[in-house]
Structure 1
């Protein structure tokens, strides 16, 4: 093995993935058999046993490091889940929200002994970074996760395993520390405000995302359109941002004839500033490490290699933070960098680039290779992923890069060099194109199937083995083509199966409930609570299942506010008819048809859905399911009954045909041909 760092880092990363994700024994055995077979074939093809032994050593070491970290840092902390105690810790991060509320990240000790990093959400305490929070009494809980947001996994990647609830006896010790960090944060907020003031809300938020990775204030529909267009990676500070900023700086310093050592020092300052302004995301740290390898090699007249640099950066990060494998931004950043810097260069190295059209074709191939590397992970982490990213990365990303450079120059000069008017025109054009693309069905892909995603991840392993064993691009292309066929055929089969049966999704949390009924190519929504969050659950469900049109939406409570919520959340969905309870029968208001206090029946042929007095009854042939209120609703004797809302204390929980939504929200009921039903947790 000529480049042992690559093999060691790849084995170490693979070991972390196995230890963290593949906990199912059957899946673990299958992947281990694949790796064992690859090793055997590799030996037959001339691989040295010591190289395979080295990779096996790092694979096992990563599993050991992960297990030790889990035993020492994770398990003692999560063992406090549900218990009460005290916590004293330093404020390491503060996020402010509307209503004078704030979320604090604290690094300290539970009951004075267990070292932990936690979050605490409350009314603003006036604490800043570096201050000490002393909480005399609180309840420790693992971050909540539901269909909308997997809080446990999100915080886990950052080493945060608990959140504090019911805190009392809180005191703040102001340390007046971290002055530089606070100054950078205030400056960052000033720049974001300047972007919004000069460019407008949406364009300013887009520029703030491109320069600082700040997405909190961005409109959800704008964000969705940007991701569907395939340029969402511009909103996460990573390799592109760092490399563009460093390239501009080094070009300027070269023009000014600054010596290479001073240039390297100034580059370090710039990288630290960019990372600090983005609040040190792991993707930016990865990019910073690689940039240091790249320019240090030039400085000391050593050969630089993208693959080696990437492997070293990944290895260094994962040694100090084994749970980085849970960080979506880190995984996507590594996949994208590998795609554009390694895989694409290998696949296109023999393509001619003498003429303009040849360079264009080669650039298209590079973007396609990059997208192929990122695609499986995007499908794993997000509701949907773009299919047109190879095209938009050629035409749109250069414009975004120009806008980002303008914003970065504005930030670095304190607004002295003001070219934001150019960014305004660029961003408005990008947002217009993104909005158009987001409304076209074939521009994005989604599939709520773990089996399909697992199959694509398996194809990644097979492709890597093919590249190592055979080293020929035609075999790699065949493997990738097989993966693409598998994806689209698999998605088509899943869609056909969904249309051939009636699926009832019960969404929401506790008393907030909405029902989505699908079958025969038709989809209907019946909202039972009128809560604004119900529309968010419906939006996510439709996006994950690739549903772009809804025949009927029935609103039964708080009609006007509910209507506004659904209009906003279903911006990119053809919503068809709107029906609502109350009002005069058959009257219309803002496109809503009212049916008064009567019941309403929707007949879609393959199924029918009836709403009456807070109860939804779905029938498909001789099969039936009832969704009703836990308070006053009646249990059906001949079908499954889902009860939403607060459950009475005297409720009979021994009946297996009754599901209480408050006990666990968000699941699908599939009415089977045998007359029974299958239930799947979402």
Structure 2
């Protein structure tokens, strides 16, 4: 049997993925169903009985691993919800957030159970990998309207969050080597931002360190919409550059392959620590270690086998990672690059420069389409210009990354850092300019929330790749891809033209409410006592449903503070602010109690504690803690989900953003 690791890896992943998204409630059902499928297949396909048995056993082991992990760790940790516990462990990350307060991430035990916890503490002299003992009140991480925290953190093995520590004691220093690496990372991060500055500096620092804190929200949105957001994820490209540099240097110093392998491996894993042990960099480090070790063990490295073995290792250590956005995108893209793309490229007949360009296009489009199902699970918007951006911009980003790595490897010496990082600055300036240009194309990206676009994209995204392989024709695959993109665009435009009606999404937070009234791609925002607290949720909704303009924002109270929050936090800023008071500038208009405004056939009226929105046949009143539709009142004080109101048929339903909680990393 060849490629046993693939059969094991895929079956093991499938078992963990199903158990994780099922929250462990249906593990017995999955085990029983897999047994029925295995028995049936075993009887029907005699030639493949070994394969079927191997897959069944791997799947069953995965179910067992998930069940054990859930009972030993997840259940015990979440049972601590609302309790004050003792936290012991090492500080793995420190973030200073102002007001003499810092946020500490600790890996150790929480209430006697192995786990990770982030909590707040007074800003004193803490250091990476200090051993601490703290008393903290913990709470279970839950999804909110602003952010799907549980969906995001649970696959990473983080189930609890802490408040400000009641007491904390540093009991000693930890691993000095890891601490030195983290200090060096902080030094490089500051050096890059000091020399380059601006969004270019934040871009370079994000590529090297995986830390996007110095990038503006608008720049991040532009980069992701242009389809090159994966360059921020520290992964294979970074590890290969590091390994190649160290390997080249070691070949000059030693001919012993074992010594070269040992130094390369240490350097690669030191960089994994430097990058914060993200899923993508761990995957890349494990794969490169296995690939470079293969010749020493007289084995021929196989990309698919290596990737599947790597997946088994990572998922055994962190079973819930099977549903992690970073894991799924990283492994899917790597599998496509290592196994699907090489076969696709062999169908290209030309062997000249145009043939090389055709190979690049085939590779970029194949990666986009094969990773589309995962993107549709997690992202609000799907970039259609990604192949173009990856062909033109990723090589420039890779060059900039290589130069940045040179700066890091040489210790950030001024004589090297300044000229090298100056070149990086202008390279990234060009990248950001082109990314901004690409993202402004009318067809650059599509919002998956527009019905039925998301379903159409999911059903059809793999058709061109399947046709290309079945008919062994790149031209036919290209034709199908073009036809599919035209179909997607047509579905989107038809949905806007004929399927739309005026809707309101209401986002409650206790008595406070924020709401969006929208028609097709334009909308109005209402803020009733919220003071912009749900701006992140509003932005997620705007991206998911393709709302590109906010014609106005109605601010019920504390106008100055609330308007400042909207202007600072929103990438789509309202054109006008209608306030319950006297305006301070031209962007503000008075809208007192009793005032009325007509927008796209919708009448908006200011009430004493809210707003009344009227269309033909539907009257919606939004006030603090309640929503009324044609006289039917709903208390929103305890609502945890957004409420969608269709004003055409006066219906209201709870809605959710599903997996679309933001940007993942590859």
Give your verdict on TM over 0.5.
yes
Aligned-partner SS, 1:448: coil
Corresponding position of 2:595: 599
In structure 1, what is the Cα distance between the partners aligned to 2:274 and 2:94? 14
Q: 1:282–1:577: structure 2 CA closer, same or farther, 3 Å change rule? A: same
Aligned pair 1:611/2:603, yes or no? no
Aligned-partner SS, 1:121: strand
Give, in angstroms, the shift of residue 346 of structure 1. 2.0
Give, in angstroms, the shift of residue 589 of structure 1. 2.2
Matches for 1:453-464 after TM superposition, within 5 Å = none
Corresponding position of 1:324: 321
Q: 1:539-574: per-residue Cα shift (whole Å, max 9, x none)?
A: 221011111123333334343443343344443x48
In structure 2, what is the Cα distance between the partners aligned to 1:502 and 1:528? 20
CA contact (8 A) 1:229 1:438 kept: yes
Corresponding position of 1:131: 130
Return 5+ residue gaps in structure 2 as ranges: 658-666
CA contact (8 A) 1:599 1:613 kept: no
Q: 1:107–1:124: structure 2 CA closer, same or farther, 3 Å change rule? A: same
Aligned pair 1:195/2:189, yes or no? no
In structure 2, what is the Cα distance between the partners aligned to 1:341 and 1:487? 28
Corresponding position of 1:58: 58
In structure 2, what is the Cα distance between the partners aligned to 1:478 and 1:27? 42
Corresponding position of 2:383: 386
Match 1:277 to one of 274, 299, 303: 274
In structure 2, what is the Cα distance between the partners aligned to 1:414 and 1:510? 52
Aligned pair 1:397/2:390, yes or no? no
Matches for 1:233-382 after TM superposition, within 5 Å = 233-254=230-251, 258-382=255-379
Moved more, 241-250 or 126-135: 126-135
Aligned pair 1:49/2:63, yes or no? no
In structure 1, what is the Cα distance between the partners aligned to 2:123 and 2:51? 56
In structure 2, what is the Cα distance between the partners aligned to 1:356 and 1:420? 32
In structure 2, what is the Cα distance between the partners aligned to 1:496 and 1:49? 54
In structure 2, what is the Cα distance between the partners aligned to 1:496 and 1:246? 53
Matches for 1:380-459 after TM superposition, within 5 Å = 380-416=377-413, 417-418=416-417, 419-448=420-449
Give, in angstroms, the shift of residue 358 of structure 1. 0.7
Corresponding position of 1:152: 150
CA contact (8 A) 1:133 1:172 kept: yes
Give, in angstroms, the shift of residue 445 of structure 1. 2.2
Matches for 1:529-678 after TM superposition, within 5 Å = 529=529, 531-571=531-571, 573=572, 575-583=574-582, 589-595=585-591, 599-605=595-601, 607-630=602-625, 638-640=630-632, 657-671=633-647, 673=649, 675-678=650-653
Corresponding position of 1:120: 119
CA contact (8 A) 1:527 1:534 kept: no
Give, in angstroms, the shift of residue 455 of structure 1. 7.5
Aligned-partner SS, 1:507: strand
Give, in angstroms, the shift of residue 201 of structure 1. 2.6
Q: 1:514–1:396: structure 2 CA closer, same or farther, 3 Å change rule? A: same
Moved more, 311-320 or 23-32: 23-32
Q: 1:298–1:211: structure 2 CA closer, same or farther, 3 Å change rule? A: same
Relative contact order, higher structure (CA 8 A, sep 6+): 2
Give, in angstroms, the shift of residue 354 of structure 1. 1.4
In structure 1, what is the Cα distance between the partners aligned to 2:347 and 2:42? 26
Aligned pair 1:143/2:141, yes or no? yes
Give, in angstroms, the shift of residue 442 of structure 1. 1.8
Aligned-partner SS, 1:551: strand
CA contact (8 A) 1:107 1:118 kept: yes
Q: 1:133–1:260: structure 2 CA closer, same or farther, 3 Å change rule? A: closer
Give, in angstroms, the shift of residue 576 of structure 1. 4.4
Aligned-partner SS, 1:437: helix
Give the aligned CA root-mean-square deviation in angstroms.
3.8
CA contact (8 A) 1:109 1:116 kept: yes
Give, in angstroms, the shift of residue 161 of structure 1. 1.6
CA contact (8 A) 2:38 2:53 kept: no
Give, in angstroms, the shift of residue 176 of structure 1. 2.0
Corresponding position of 2:660: none
In structure 2, what is the Cα distance between the partners aligned to 1:451 and 1:82? 42
Corresponding position of 1:172: 169
CA contact (8 A) 1:530 1:555 kept: no
Aligned-partner SS, 2:294: helix
Q: 1:95–1:325: structure 2 CA closer, same or farther, 3 Å change rule? A: farther
- TM-score by length of structure 1 reads 0.85
CA contact (8 A) 2:576 2:588 kept: yes
CA contact (8 A) 2:225 2:439 kept: yes
CA contact (8 A) 2:91 2:127 kept: yes
Corresponding position of 1:75: 75
Corresponding position of 1:651: none
Q: 1:47–1:550: structure 2 CA closer, same or farther, 3 Å change rule? A: farther
Matches for 1:97-108 after TM superposition, within 5 Å = 97-108=97-108
Q: 1:29–1:158: structure 2 CA closer, same or farther, 3 Å change rule? A: closer
Q: How many residues align?
A: 650
CA contact (8 A) 1:516 1:525 kept: yes
CA contact (8 A) 1:504 1:668 kept: yes
- TM-score by length of structure 2 reads 0.87
CA contact (8 A) 1:86 1:135 kept: yes
CA contact (8 A) 2:619 2:629 kept: no
Aligned-partner SS, 1:533: coil
Give, in angstroms, the shift of residue 521 of structure 1. 5.6
Corresponding position of 1:516: 516
In structure 2, what is the Cα distance between the partners aligned to 1:104 and 1:279? 14
Give, in angstroms, the shift of residue 105 of structure 1. 2.5
Q: 1:309-332: per-residue Cα shift (whole Å, max 9, x none)?
A: 111111111122111123322221
Give, in angstroms, the shift of residue 372 of structure 1. 1.6
Q: 1:566–1:436: structure 2 CA closer, same or farther, 3 Å change rule? A: farther
Q: 1:440–1:51: structure 2 CA closer, same or farther, 3 Å change rule? A: same
Give, in angstroms, the shift of residue 677 of structure 1. 3.3
Q: 1:229–1:32: structure 2 CA closer, same or farther, 3 Å change rule? A: farther
CA contact (8 A) 2:644 2:652 kept: no
